[in-house]
Amino acid sequence: MSDRGRTIGFLVHDNVTMMDVAGPADVFHHANAFGADYKTVMVSADGQAKRAANGHFLMVESTAARAGALDTVLVPGAYGMVAKPFEQELVDAVGQLTTGATRIASVCTGAFLLAHTGLLNHRNATTHWTQVERFRKSFPLVNVVPDALFVQDDSIITSAGISSGVDLALFMVEDDYGPEVARAVVRQMVIFNNGQAGNPSIRLPSLPPRPGTMS
């Protein structure tokens, strides 16, 4: 735990899931009201705004190459991102942002992008439940943990998807500034938290999403 400030960079890309970004960003924002000192920065590979999957645009403040020093890099997921090859510019952006970062995280299918760069080789990791088998087959060097909201392996944390990004961010807040600050954020944001976010099982829904909606 430390009182020093921390800069968190979000790598925004096309068709990104808005909640993968907004959920964690709001957690860090609320934490600042209770003694934390976070600065969040939205970046993209080319420095251009990106349209999220819900149709709204996310403004960015920098290219990945010019983002400067970051304490944490967070890679959100996106609809359709695992069904086609990653653009090299996006892969390069991960390398540019993570060089020198002390912590790397992903939400949902953002884990695929981290795995593609080799950052998850021989590490425990998770992703959205609908993509677990694809993740396992695509990256055999990754030890896939299917039934967890998030998984920490040293300085890399991957989360299961969408709203679990909130749990991921709360874990970071507690790690950075202590449990009192994290609990204050939970109360302020009216978040249901069972106190076992680090290793819960997930009951999979009986009705799967339509084909193509989560790939």
Q: Residue 11 class from Cβ within 10 Å (0-12 exposed, 13-18 middle, 19+ buried)?
A: buried
CA distance 28 to 10: 12
User: Measuring CA to CA, which residue among 62, 65, 69 is closest to residue 102?
Assistant: 69
CA distance 191 to 199: 17
User: Measuring CA to CA, which residue among 109, 203, 199 is closest to residue 152?
Assistant: 199
> How confident is the model at residue 162, as a pLDDT?
87
Question: What is the average per-residue pLDDT within 132-151?
Answer: 96
pLDDT band at 2 (very low <50, low <70, confident <90, very high): low
CA distance 26 to 39: 11
> How confident is the model at residue 198, as a pLDDT?
40
**157-215: pLDDT as tens digits:** 999 988 999 999 999 999 999 999 999 999 999 987 654 444 444 444 444 555 555 54
pLDDT band at 3 (very low <50, low <70, confident <90, very high): low
Going along the chain from its start, the domains and CATH numbers come out as 6-189 (3.40.50.880)
**79-125: pLDDT as tens digits:** 888 988 999 999 999 999 999 999 999 999 999 999 999 999 999 99
CA distance 106 to 182: 20
**16-64: pLDDT as tens digits:** 999 999 999 999 999 999 999 999 999 999 999 999 999 999 999 999 9
